[in-house]
Amino acid sequence: MKTIFLKYKSRLLLFGLILFLFPRCTENPFFNENIDITNQLTVEGRVILNDDFVPVNIYVWLERFNLSTYTDSSGYFKLELPDPHLQPGGGMNGVYSIYYYVANYRVKTSSMLLLKGQIEYGSGDVDNRGRINQTVILQKLIDIKTEITPSEIAFDNKDPLDIMITLDNKIDSVRVATYKRLNGQTSCIIIKPRGAGIDSAFILQGIGTYLQDEWISNKTVWLMRYLFSVGFFPPGEYEFIPYIIIYQDNLPQELLDSIDEELLFLSYRYLNLPIKQQTGCITVKKNGE
């Protein structure tokens, strides 16, 4: 009897040791993967917009660490911190903010507590499973719509193109800036072959223009007219993107720099800016089509 009891006790100890060594994981129904709660270095969540735009490519940035990512088509994101021994001081401590940014929506943040370089699940805005405890909703500041007339032209077109940019504020007023002439007429547009990389874009800017601030407190229309030389546009489709700086309070310069240090310069790199808008488009057809 004593021998049987010892064998039974040994099996219990072995079973307990296996349970102790087996990683403690929790199923994640949102991302269809496991969350390792013994190594609390990841945080995830969902961001949506308060309109009909798809919540894809919303910029998510963790201050101090300069970690960033973009949301997928459903608005989900995941950030992973470096191992504590790779962090300053062998592991950072304190409350840090996660920023959610689209240029024409109000920036929002979530708070996250770190102790010895790991995230304290169940503290701040992070629940005990490592997720932002509520879906983040970004409020639109201003709607931007660009229209081109005519929208189809022949390769040998000699008529001017009329560009209309409509700005419709969704809050009391929004401060913006763009390049204008001394008479106040807008004279700046970025043109990119559709489907091509941003470095293929080129800029049309009128002579004698300067960067001018403007408060948009009612629906506002900017008009431009350009006369292009014959053959300026090879056959194809072209996207017209207005150059607009949208000012916001509580927006760290470090966040913008983390996207591109020349993000707000008047160059093709402006197209790295996360923004939701309806751009203009023209189709240039071959002669006879």
Q: With bands split at pLDDT 50, 70 and 90, how would you rate the model's confidence at 34?
A: low
In this predicted structure, the answer to whether residue 119 has a pLDDT above a threshold of 90 is yes
Using CA atoms of 60, 270, 56, 42 in order, give the dihedral in degrees to the nearest 10. -20
pLDDT at 284: 95
**C-beta of residue 268 within 8 angstroms of C-beta of residue 193:** no
Q: 80 to each of 67, 76, 122, 276, 279, how far by Cα in Å?
A: 8, 14, 17, 26, 34
The string of pLDDT tens digits covering residues 174-195 is 999 999 998 888 999 999 999 9
Predicted model pTM: 0.85
In this predicted structure, the answer to whether residue 36 has a pLDDT above a threshold of 60 is no
**C-beta of residue 126 within 8 angstroms of C-beta of residue 109:** no
pLDDT at 15: 41
Q: With bands split at pLDDT 50, 70 and 90, how would you rate the model's confidence at 287?
A: confident
**C-beta of residue 77 within 8 angstroms of C-beta of residue 30:** no
Q: Report the alpha-carbon distance of residue 178 to residue 240 in Å, rounded.
A: 15
In this predicted structure, the answer to whether residue 46 has a pLDDT above a threshold of 80 is yes
Q: With bands split at pLDDT 50, 70 and 90, how would you rate the model's confidence at 288?
A: low
Residue carrying structure tokens 């088509």 = 73
Nearest to 55 by CA among 36, 74, 80: 74
The string of pLDDT tens digits covering residues 214-224 is 999 999 999 99
Beta bridge partners of 152: 283
* Domains present along the chain, CATH in parentheses: 24-138 (2.60.40.1120), 142-285 (2.60.40)
Residue carrying structure tokens 């751009």 = 279
pLDDT at 289: 62
The mean predicted confidence, pLDDT, of the chain is: 89
- Count of C-beta atoms within a 10 Å radius of residue 228: 15
Residue carrying structure tokens 């209309």 = 164
* CA angle centred on 117, ends 65 and 133, rounded to 5°: 80
Q: Report the alpha-carbon distance of residue 141 to residue 167 in Å, rounded.
A: 10
The string of pLDDT tens digits covering residues 49-86 is 999 999 999 999 999 998 999 999 999 999 999 999 99
First to last CA, the chain: 97
pLDDT at 1: 44
By CB atoms closer than 10 A (0-12, 13-18, 19+), residue 276 is buried
Q: With bands split at pLDDT 50, 70 and 90, how would you rate the model's confidence at 282?
A: very high
Run of H or E including 13:
helix 2-21
